[in-house]
Amino acid sequence: VEFVLFVFTGAAEVPVGASATQRVTVRNAGNLATELAAITPSDPRFTAALVGGSLPAPLAPGATAQVDVTFTPTAGGPAAGTIAFDAAGGDDFSLDVTGDGVVLGAAAVPAAVDFGRITATAAPARHVELRNTGDRALTVVGVALDLPGDFAVTGLAAGATIPAGGALGFDVQPTPTMLGRRRATLTIDLEKTRN
């Protein structure tokens, strides 16, 4: 069996703290039966597991087995290694793997806004910055307030992109619909901008 390089790079790079899995097919190209006895990664950030079975796995001539290869980066930057496939009979083989771990992060500054006591006719807006603290550009994919009648957000919408190290400013303003203390949570969904 022969493989080419198996990659978790480019559009397939993986955020630190997350995992990504790709499936590979192992085929017994010989004319004798064998067993897939062990699957061993050279780097702990890569793992491999037989799909729907356990080792040792018998492989008749021409038979195939599915293996999931998972990359779990622990830090930003490149990683490379091999996955060794040990056959009980016949030749052993290996799969070259490489991946890029990326740090994705964002922070709102300030993280909370307290408007204090206000009047409905003089509700001040407060400026907030959404800072990209990661390695890649981030795209805003959703903005939601759990009390949209009592607060309004301007300057922040789905589709906005924040470059790595950059910031996006927006305003939050109270728009109370009733008397009393009001509290809301603003949720901003972000994803890595596609390369």
| Secondary structure (3-state) at 128 | strand
For residue 30, count CB atoms less than 10 angstroms from its CB and return exposed for 0-12, middle for 13-18, buried for 19 or more: middle
Hunting for tokens 């994803």 — which residue is that? 191
Lowest average pLDDT, out of 19-28, 70-79, 173-182, goes to: 173-182
Of 128, 123, 112, 106, the C-alpha closest to 15 is 106
pLDDT tens-digit map of 44-69: 999 999 999 899 999 898 888 899 99
pLDDT tens-digit map of 116-151: 888 767 778 999 999 999 989 999 999 999 988 888
Please report the pLDDT score of residue 3 as a whole number. 52
